[in-house]
Structure 1
Amino acid sequence: GTHLFFLENVCYRRDVLAVLNMVRQGLFGELIHLECGYQHDLRAVKFNDGKQPYGGGVEFGEKGFSEAKWRTIHSVHRNGDLYPTHGIGPVAQFIHINRGNRFLSLCSMASKARGLHDYILNHPKGGPQHPNAQIEFKLGDKVTTLIQCAHGETVVVHHDTNLPRPYSLGFRVQGTRGLWMDVNDSLYLEGTSPTHRWEPAQPYLQRYDHPLWQRLAERATGAGHGGMDFFLFNAFVESVKRAAPPPLDVYDAATWLAITPLSEQSIAAGGQPQPFPDFTNGRWMFRQPNFALDDTY
């Protein structure tokens, strides 16, 4: 058969790979809790004027253009974490999901849905008389999912796309010796950082820059998404050339994407825990990590 390579580019983000390097070198100790998410104001993506891809109106569906043509309808009919992979992909590498560890169960809750309706009401081309102002959006403005792992870690996954906010994937990596948070670009390492005080993360991210970025950063200049896409495609090509199992495979794809329907089921059941399928059929206990192990791919 043919391998599936799951193209999740944030796994190759420079700071994410530096933190992975730090995790592997034990700087955070044993990992206890992690957070991530998709936190991105998409209101001007979900609505436009039907002519330009971003903003300019409050149309979607048949009257929308580009992503507004298909993306927004999910916010009308669904209530769950609709886009978990950007955040959960890197987190899965930090704690060896499907390669020595796995997700056991999740529970999700959703806030009320107000952001998209408010956007339509207050947009110059919207207002209370606009037909779209009558739509009741089902997607909660803030969806929060809590995952329990086989080795005892907890993971919180955020979905937040309908409210005004700066972009952030909300990474938090916390262990017995310290933590890193990307939202304030800071970290704390016990015995190294000033007691109970944050330190800027950048000096550490530079010191522990992943060997992949050290070797290939110049070649990645100008590539999509700040260079991440270069490393993603490089890994795809190199694994194909070697006929090697891809570092992001079909089990990862199924596991990460399962968060969406499981979160919908949990929310519909009032936040009740939902068991996670073991797509590896027990092989997670014996599979070894193979993601970004050196400067090759």
Structure 2
Amino acid sequence: MQRREFILASAAVAATTLLPQTPAWARERKVRLGMIGTGMRGQVLLKELLRRDDVEVVALCDIEPIMLKRGMDMAAKAGKSAPKAYGQDGDVHAYRRLLSQRGLDGVIIATPWEWHAPMAIEAMQAKVAVGCEVVAGITLQDHWDVLNTQLRTGTPYMLLENVCYRRDVMAALQMVRAGLFGELVHLQGGYQHDLRAVKFNSGDSAQPYGSGVEFGAKGWSEARWRTEHSVERNGELYPSHGIGPCAMYTGINRGNRFTHINSFASKARGLHEYTVAKSGGTSHPSTQVKFRLGDIVTTTLACENGETILLQHDTSLPRPYSLGFRVQGTHGLWMDLNQSIHIEGRSPPHKWEPFQGYQDEFDHPLWKKYEKDAAGAGHGGMDYFVIHAFVEAVKAEAPMPIDIFDAVTWSALTPLSEQSIAEGFKTLEFPDFTKGLWQSRKPIFAFDAKY
């Protein structure tokens, strides 16, 4: 057997023996779940819940009647029993009534970011397992509060970061573990996605993307709340898509940790120019808004084991979508932007190779097992996997694949980046949310779980 093949086989065996398995008693168990937030994102996740035979969606909550009705209609169309509805009266605390519903095993939180921490905290206090959309909180204190609540109550918490389940991302993880890249040295990722048409619309619920330049109270869907973050904040506002896979490649919180962070922000021009062009002049109030969020925010991280990680947040300028992954070690590198790879001794000297052949060779067992089940799911199948992981963990009363330490560590990049920029691009020490446990924690997370 060739050395590379031996390493891969050994890694696969070792990983399999460490994987948590759903016990027999839990395999046929049905879980009763609620959902807080049935907007555009919530509906994508609700679709995955409704297609499962092991889930009963027993409660939905949204203070926007149109979105709540859409969620209820989805349940009816799927042939499911009608969930109990909360929020029709516009009460922003209607979710509390949902959390008090008897027999609730877990809840999916898919609301605007500022509600994630308080809702998750109250759910954990009510002993209701939490599957929370990114991000975990707004301020650094939010993250400590979410963490301390989870540690105090013991209620399971999972960050629903779907990119950790992207097929090429998981194949690259297999390559990392097989030693194909050698010792890791540098990684990159980010959120590079033109969101101008998401941050503004006409306020018409039938045209949520790019139909105008309204936001805030006059906007609809994400334009109603997300754009305000671009007005008031300057930092790495959406880190987990990029940092999640990079953190797992480098074993963050499991034998490695972030030690330092700094961030730089460019000038802000893109959103202003978009509103002027879209409205045909400067008379609309949106064209007079001063946006604080730099068009390109660049964040660098140093790790205990010597790796560096670079993240870029780029949502206000015209560009094709890319998360910009790069995994580079002493033997070669992979870059997702051109879907290319170079491995010394295997690739032609100084030449890129197409990644597809490597992805096929190193395809993760989860994708091989569940490819058909994931067909048609949101974001190329990723949403199937992240919901599947949460549901199976709840059923088995097993550790969450992306747990509380992952959640707060990845999400805290945002307030830390804001602080760095505000203090003149200062390099900051990164807090150790594990309080030293990173040195002994075992590598059981999203890529390892059999589910």
TM-score range, shorter chain: over 0.9
1:242 Cα shift? 2.6
Alignment: residue pair count? 296
Amino acid at match of 2:179: G
After superposition, the C-alpha distances for 1:128-167 in whole angstroms (9 at most, x for unaligned) are 1222111111000000000000000000011000000000
Amino acid at match of 2:234: N
Residues 62-211 of structure 1: pairs in structure 2 closer than 5 A: 62-123=217-278, 125-211=279-365
Once residues 281 and 217 of structure 2 are traced to their aligned partners in structure 1, the CA distance between those partners, rounded to angstroms, is 20
1:12 aligned to which of 153, 165, 190: 165
Residue of structure 2 in register with 1:42 after alignment: 195
1:30 aligned to which of 183, 187, 198: 183
1:111 Cα shift? 0.2
1:291 Cα shift? 2.4
Instruction: Check if 1:221 corresponds to 2:380.
Output: no
8 A Cα contact 1:39 1:170, kept in partner: yes
Once residues 265 and 445 of structure 2 are traced to their aligned partners in structure 1, the CA distance between those partners, rounded to angstroms, is 33
Amino acid at match of 1:254: V
8 A Cα contact 1:80 1:261, kept in partner: yes
8 A Cα contact 1:34 1:173, kept in partner: yes
Residue of structure 1 in register with 2:208 after alignment: 53
Instruction: Check if 1:234 corresponds to 2:398.
Output: no
Residue of structure 1 in register with 2:13 after alignment: none
Q: 1:159 to 1:192 in 2, by over 3 A?
A: same
1:280 aligned to which of 413, 430, 434: 434
% same residue? 64
Once residues 372 and 160 of structure 2 are traced to their aligned partners in structure 1, the CA distance between those partners, rounded to angstroms, is 21
Once residues 449 and 321 of structure 2 are traced to their aligned partners in structure 1, the CA distance between those partners, rounded to angstroms, is 29
8 A Cα contact 1:211 1:294, kept in partner: no
After superposition, the C-alpha distances for 1:216-274 in whole angstroms (9 at most, x for unaligned) are 10111111211111111221122223322112101111100110000000001111111
Q: 1:215 to 1:17 in 2, by over 3 A?
A: same
Aligned residue for 1:71, secondary structure, equals helix
Structure 1 segments unaligned to the other structure (5+ residues): none
1:215 Cα shift? 1.0
Aligned residue for 1:35, secondary structure, equals strand
Once residues 308 and 387 of structure 2 are traced to their aligned partners in structure 1, the CA distance between those partners, rounded to angstroms, is 31
Once residues 21 and 232 of structure 1 are traced to their aligned partners in structure 2, the CA distance between those partners, rounded to angstroms, is 18
TM-score (norm. length: structure 1): 0.97
After superposition, the C-alpha distances for 1:59-111 in whole angstroms (9 at most, x for unaligned) are 10111111000000111110001000111111111000101101111000000
1:295 Cα shift? 7.2
8 A Cα contact 1:215 1:295, kept in partner: no
After superposition, the C-alpha distances for 1:12-52 in whole angstroms (9 at most, x for unaligned) are 00000000011110100010000000000000000111112
Once residues 48 and 235 of structure 1 are traced to their aligned partners in structure 2, the CA distance between those partners, rounded to angstroms, is 34
Amino acid at match of 1:16: V
Amino acid at match of 2:272: H
After superposition, the C-alpha distances for 1:151-204 in whole angstroms (9 at most, x for unaligned) are 000000110000000000000000000000000110100001110111111110
CA RMSD of aligned residues (A): 1.1
1:126 Cα shift? 4.3
Once residues 238 and 249 of structure 1 are traced to their aligned partners in structure 2, the CA distance between those partners, rounded to angstroms, is 14
8 A Cα contact 2:182 2:330, kept in partner: yes
8 A Cα contact 2:170 2:447, kept in partner: no
**Higher RCO (C-alpha under 8 Å, 6+ residues apart):** 1
Amino acid at match of 1:105: H
Once residues 198 and 449 of structure 2 are traced to their aligned partners in structure 1, the CA distance between those partners, rounded to angstroms, is 36
8 A Cα contact 2:164 2:447, kept in partner: no
Residue of structure 1 in register with 2:65 after alignment: none
8 A Cα contact 1:58 1:126, kept in partner: no
Once residues 59 and 98 of structure 1 are traced to their aligned partners in structure 2, the CA distance between those partners, rounded to angstroms, is 41
Amino acid at match of 1:108: S
8 A Cα contact 1:33 1:153, kept in partner: yes
Amino acid at match of 1:227: G
Once residues 295 and 182 of structure 1 are traced to their aligned partners in structure 2, the CA distance between those partners, rounded to angstroms, is 24
8 A Cα contact 1:211 1:295, kept in partner: no
Q: 1:279 to 1:292 in 2, by over 3 A?
A: closer
TM-score (norm. length: structure 2): 0.64
Q: 1:147 to 1:249 in 2, by over 3 A?
A: same
Once residues 382 and 447 of structure 2 are traced to their aligned partners in structure 1, the CA distance between those partners, rounded to angstroms, is 17
8 A Cα contact 1:212 1:294, kept in partner: no
Instruction: Check if 1:21 corresponds to 2:174.
Output: yes
Amino acid at match of 1:74: H
8 A Cα contact 1:39 1:169, kept in partner: yes
